[in-house]
Amino acid sequence: MTRACRLATILIAGCVTAVPAAARQTPTTPPAETAPAPNDYGRDESWLCRPGRQDACAIDLTTMVVAPDGTATRETWAANPNAPIDCFYVYPTVSRDPLTFSDMTIGDEERNVVRQQFARFGSQCRPFAPMYRQVTLQGLRARLAGSGLELNRGSGYDDVRAAWNDYLARDNNGRGVVLIGHSQGAMVLTRLMSEEIDGQPVQGRLISAILLGTTVPVPKGKDMGGAFQRIPLCRAADQIGCVITFASFRSTVPPPPNTRFGRVQAEGMEAGCTNPAALAGGSGALHAYLTNRGSLIAQAAPQSPRWTADGAPVETPFVSVPGLLSARCASNEHANYLEVTVQADPADASADDIPGDLGGPGRVQADWGLHLVDVNIAMGNLVDIVGRQAKAYLAKARR
């Protein structure tokens, strides 16, 4: 197999992280596996992130903000050690372990995805991120071959549920909490919320759930009643007890007939979409945080982006380009989705595009949209929303 073919195999398998029910074929019966022993989440090594540690969340998130005129400003970042709320994160499919399910050894791929998708929330909340025996990239290859493997069943889901219960018993102490997940992680959290939170006493502690890169069904024209019976979609930045969800696609490459996201086959149902740049509706500016060299959650970019007209390298770990991206919730005959528009201006001195497509320039796999950067493109908006929701939650608790 050539290097190009190997790379294509990794890209395709590595990003098949959340296939909605509508896109699944009738599963075959997977081979029987011996149930693994439960994990002990009382052990620090079972967690990627916990408050007050030097771990995957204790990293440099300094950002270079590049204005349209090319002016670059350094933006620092710091975690809040006294954050009044908590965040509980479940990461997407990134494990390169060689079996169907990952082990519990923290690797570079888990550290990388925390760096890109979760650590920045530490400015608003105490971070909790368990390791879990997720379906690996190898397991996803088997799923594509018809194994019938489900991404929110088995040891991975059992582990997250155990970690959640450990967190509630050992750390929560009645604090408000935000759930954050992407792709496989969002699928696992959707099931956890449905079975363990929706309509249960602990729902009162749910500030919000950010479930990205997946499909959360709701009745057409409504905000509640599909995946969750008592937890609505968020329609305001200070609304609490609600869900933010979307799958992103470029405005120039909308969901095709074989889209992986944004489609629900059940009669009377549709995929929920909440625009973090304008939760009440309409269009708004996305506040993205992208890595300086364009690396993604499961792969390197085909080439480093040009963030300025002269191609000068960005030395900070992250870069932000204000005004480059806008978004709105949109629909076509195939899906409901977050439509992302790149406001390119070849005449200015900043970037005219972003990385994030599966397949690369000239061979984009449209059915995946901007799945690889679902979280990055709205990170600033999401962190700001969590801050506003925290204030609303705490104000309500004081009444």
Q: Is the pLDDT of residue 32 over 50?
A: no
Q: Give mean pLDDT, residues 149-173.
A: 92
Q: In this structure, are residues 213 and 92 in contact, taking their beta carbons and an 8 Å threshold?
A: yes
Residue 22: band (very low, low, confident or very high) from pLDDT cuts 50, 70, 90: very low
Percent of the chain whose predicted confidence (pLDDT) is above 90 = 73
Instruction: With a cut of 50, say whether residue 4 has pLDDT above it.
Output: no
Instruction: Name every residue whose Cβ is closer than 8 Å to that of residue 357 and which is 6 or more positions away in sequence.
Output: 250, 253, 364, 365, 368, 370, 372
Would you state the pLDDT for residue 390? 98
- Please compute the mean of the pLDDT values over residues 325-338 and round it to a whole number: 98
Residues paired with residue 217 on neighbouring β-strands, in sequence order = 271
**Residue 312 pLDDT grade (very low, low, confident, very high; cuts 50, 70, 90):** confident
Residue 9 has pLDDT above 80, yes or no: no
Question: pLDDT band for position 11 (50/70/90)?
Answer: very low
Residue 149 tokens, joined: 């493997």
Cβ neighbours, 10 Å, residue 326: 18
Mean pLDDT of 373-393: 98
Contact 73, 64 (CB under 8 A): yes
Mean pLDDT for all residues in the chain: 89
Packing angle, helices 155-167 and 184-192, rounded to 10: 60
Average pLDDT of the segment spanning 150-158: 86
pLDDT tops 50 at residue 5: no
- Whether 190 shows a pLDDT value over 70: the answer reads yes
Average pLDDT over residues 163-169: 98
Predicted confidence at residue 360, as pLDDT, reads 67
Are the C-beta atoms of 308 and 29 separated by less than 8 Å? no
Cα 251 from Cα 263, distance rounded (Å): 17
